[in-house]
Chains A and B, each alone.
Chain A
């Protein structure tokens, strides 16, 4: 576990003990990452900001259940954000542009969240369009392999191999492989 991960885990442990300043610190470290993720999925600023509030409030209330042996804090937060954002998107309260959604790499480097994040973003940009497209359709639109195959009219086996290869390349760029 890297220093940043250990600090994150210590903050969550402090939150579990009722330390409100720990939540404020954790928010400063990861709010940018989570808001970016929410915006890619729901595409509406106010909805995304509400989700950001809700995910950190959930983290505060669920802090005692975080288990550092099962993964990083940022992943724990991102999984919650993605799940909530996709639920919101599917509830049809947020209009979205089907078809081209998730195709572009948004060049919005508002802040550098972490070296890992910068490396993964660079790696994402270096993926081929075909690979990047299936990865983003899965992660940001919540499509299954068969739904992606249908959406872009390619065999499901090709979808699976592109997803695996694409995410595999991104994973290689994270320091301290777990």
Chain B
């Protein structure tokens, strides 16, 4: 097995130790015929696994991540809100279509948590979903909170209505309850400093 050609299939399967792999890479870089042979072995290896049909949400998420998702019009605003690049904001928006992202809190409330940029280091950042007809219960803001509605129709206890694109500012110590109107879930992006207090109990981060 001293001939480099004999090592090609082993390299294609990733089975060589580091020294042998380096030897093969060097030889392949200098010889197009060897490179073509390695490519053919790698191609064969790539086809070993049985195909499995992916669920539709993976493609939805991927399209969101490259700026072709259904919430794309919010990517610039979310980038500013969360102090991240537009590409990162797009990846956040893609999380809406990833079922595993949602921390289901019961009573029709779901939360997605992610880390914002440096200016948001002290803030809880994420998405909140309120299912149709459900309510996020009365709570007090322990710091300034900014929300951007990305889907649905939100109403607060004082009768103010919010729609996609609207911004909802809640100052420190302010209190409210909010509910989802209409037939589709409300989803909003939220940046909350210091968290909130529900029923006298503080809630922060993933435990919110």
Contacts and interface: CB of A to CB of B under 8 A. Distances in A.
Interface of A: 20, 23-24, 27, 31-33, 35-37, 39-40, 46, 49-50, 52-53, 56-57, 60, 70-72, 74-75, 77-79, 82, 86, 105-113, 116-117, 120-121, 124, 135-136, 138-140, 142-146, 148, 157, 159-160, 163-164, 167-168, 170-171, 173-174, 177-178
Interface in B29-52: 35-37, 39-52
Given A113-B51, A174-B47, A57 B42 contact: no
Contacts of B39: 70-72, 75, 178
Contacts of B51: 32-33, 35-36, 108-113, 117
Chain B binding surface, main DSSP class: helix
Contacts, number: 175
Contact of B62 (A56, A107, A111): A56
A167 B45 contact: yes
B66 A167 contact: no
B14 interface: yes
The 9 closest A-B pairs by CB, nearest first: A78-B46, A32-B51, A71-B39, A120-B47, A138-B13, A171-B44, A167-B9, A138-B15, A36-B49
Contacts of B36: 178
B92 to A, nearest CB: 13
A108 B1 CA distance: 36
A170 B13 contact: no
B120 interface: no
Nearest to B67: A20
A56 B61 CA distance: 11
Contacts of B53: 32, 35, 110-111
B59 interface: yes
25 contacts: A20-B66, A27-B59, A35-B58, A37-B48, A40-B50, A52-B58, A53-B65, A70-B39, A72-B43, A75-B39, A78-B45, A79-B46, A106-B50, A111-B53, A135-B48, A139-B48, A140-B49, A145-B17, A160-B10, A163-B13, A164-B10, A171-B9, A174-B40, A178-B37, A178-B39
